[in-house]
Copies of this chain bind each other. A is one copy, B any other.
Amino acid sequence: MQIDWRRDNSLTNFFFNCSSCDIESRITIENFLDNELQKILNVKAEKLNDAIKKGIIKFFEFHGHPALQFRKGIGKIEDGTVIYFRDKIEVIRGFPKIRRTLMLHPTLKNHFNDEIVVEEKMNGYNVRIVSIGDEIVALTRRGYMCPYTTRKAVEILDLSPFFNDYPDYVICGEMVGTENPYVSHYYEEIGNLGFRVFDIRKKVTNEPLSIKKKHKILEEYNLPGVRVFGSFKVDEAAEKVKELIKEIGEDRREGVVMKDPIMEISPLKYTSSRAHDDEIFYAFTYPFDFGKDFFFSRVVREGFQAYEMKEGEEELQKRAQRLGESILFSMISTIKNVASGNQATEDMVIDVENEEEAEEFIQYLHNLGVYAVVHKIKGNKAVIRRIHQATTDKVNNLLNGGLY
- Whether B325 contacts A100 by the Cβ 8 Å rule is no
A304 CB–B CB distance under 8 Å: yes
- Whether A327 contacts B307 by the Cβ 8 Å rule is no
Known contacts A99-B404, A300-B404, A316-B332, then 9 further A-B pairs from the complex at CB < 8 Å, ordered by chain A residue: A101-B404, A103-B398, A295-B295, A296-B296, A307-B332, A307-B339, A317-B325, A319-B324, A323-B328
- Whether B331 contacts A320 by the Cβ 8 Å rule is no
Task: Type the 1/0 row for A83-111, where 1 means its CB is closer than 8 Å to any CB of B.
Answer: 00000000000000001111100110111
A:367-404 near B, CB below 8 Å: 398-404
Task: For the complex formed, measure the closest distance between the CB of A401 and the CB atoms of chain B, giving whole angstroms.
Answer: 4
Query: Which are the 9 A-B pairs with shortest beta-carbon distances?
Result: A324-B324, A320-B324, A303-B331, A107-B401, A323-B324, A292-B292, A110-B401, A99-B403, A320-B325
Copies in the complex: 2
Task: For the complex formed, measure the closest distance between the CB of A243 and the CB atoms of chain B, giving whole angstroms.
Answer: 20
25 contacts between A and B (CB under 8 A): A101-B401, A101-B404, A102-B398, A103-B398, A103-B399, A103-B401, A107-B403, A109-B401, A268-B403, A284-B299, A292-B292, A292-B295, A292-B296, A300-B331, A303-B328, A303-B332, A306-B332, A307-B336, A316-B328, A316-B332, A319-B324, A321-B321, A323-B323, A323-B328, A324-B327
- Whether A400 contacts B106 by the Cβ 8 Å rule is yes
Chain B residue nearest to A111 in the complex (CB): B401
Chain B residue nearest to A277 in the complex (CB): B324
Please measure, in the bound complex, the distance between the C-alpha atom of A316 and the C-alpha atom of B303, giving whole angstroms: 22
Task: For the complex formed, measure the closest distance between the CB of A36 and the CB atoms of chain B, giving whole angstroms.
Answer: 35
A113 CB–B CB distance under 8 Å: no
A:301-336 near B, CB below 8 Å: 301-304, 306-307, 316-317, 319-325, 327-329, 331-332, 335-336
A:330-351 near B, CB below 8 Å: 331-332, 335-336, 339
How many residues on A have C-beta within 8 angstroms of the other chain's C-beta atoms?
A: 50
- Whether A106 contacts B401 by the Cβ 8 Å rule is yes
A327-B320 in contact given A292-B296, A404-B99 (Cβ < 8 Å): yes
A124 CB–B CB distance under 8 Å: no
A8 CB–B CB distance under 8 Å: no
Please measure, in the bound complex, the distance between the C-alpha atom of A355 and the C-alpha atom of B226, giving whole angstroms: 65
A354 CB–B CB distance under 8 Å: no
**Chain B hits for A300, CB < 8 A:** 287, 331, 404
- Whether B404 contacts A102 by the Cβ 8 Å rule is yes
Please measure, in the bound complex, the distance between the C-alpha atom of A398 and the C-alpha atom of B99, giving whole angstroms: 13
**Chain B hits for A321, CB < 8 A:** 317, 320-321, 324
- Whether B320 contacts A328 by the Cβ 8 Å rule is yes
Task: For the complex formed, measure the closest distance between the CB of A391 and the CB atoms of chain B, giving whole angstroms.
Answer: 11
Does more than half of chain A's interface fall in helix, strand or loop, or is it mixed? helix
Task: For the complex formed, measure the closest distance between the CB of A70 and the CB atoms of chain B, giving whole angstroms.
Answer: 23
**Chain B hits for A135, CB < 8 A:** none
Please measure, in the bound complex, the distance between the C-alpha atom of A327 and the C-alpha atom of B292, giving whole angstroms: 15
Please measure, in the bound complex, the distance between the C-alpha atom of A190 and the C-alpha atom of B103, giving whole angstroms: 44
Chain B residue nearest to A301 in the complex (CB): B404
A335-B304 in contact given A292-B292, A325-B317, A404-B101 (Cβ < 8 Å): yes
A155 CB–B CB distance under 8 Å: no
Task: For the complex formed, measure the closest distance between the CB of A174 and the CB atoms of chain B, giving whole angstroms.
Answer: 21
A28 CB–B CB distance under 8 Å: no
Task: For the complex formed, measure the closest distance between the CB of A312 and the CB atoms of chain B, giving whole angstroms.
Answer: 12
**Chain B hits for A402, CB < 8 A:** 107
A356 CB–B CB distance under 8 Å: no
- Whether B292 contacts A306 by the Cβ 8 Å rule is no
A31 CB–B CB distance under 8 Å: no
A:117-176 near B, CB below 8 Å: none
A293 CB–B CB distance under 8 Å: yes
A222 CB–B CB distance under 8 Å: no
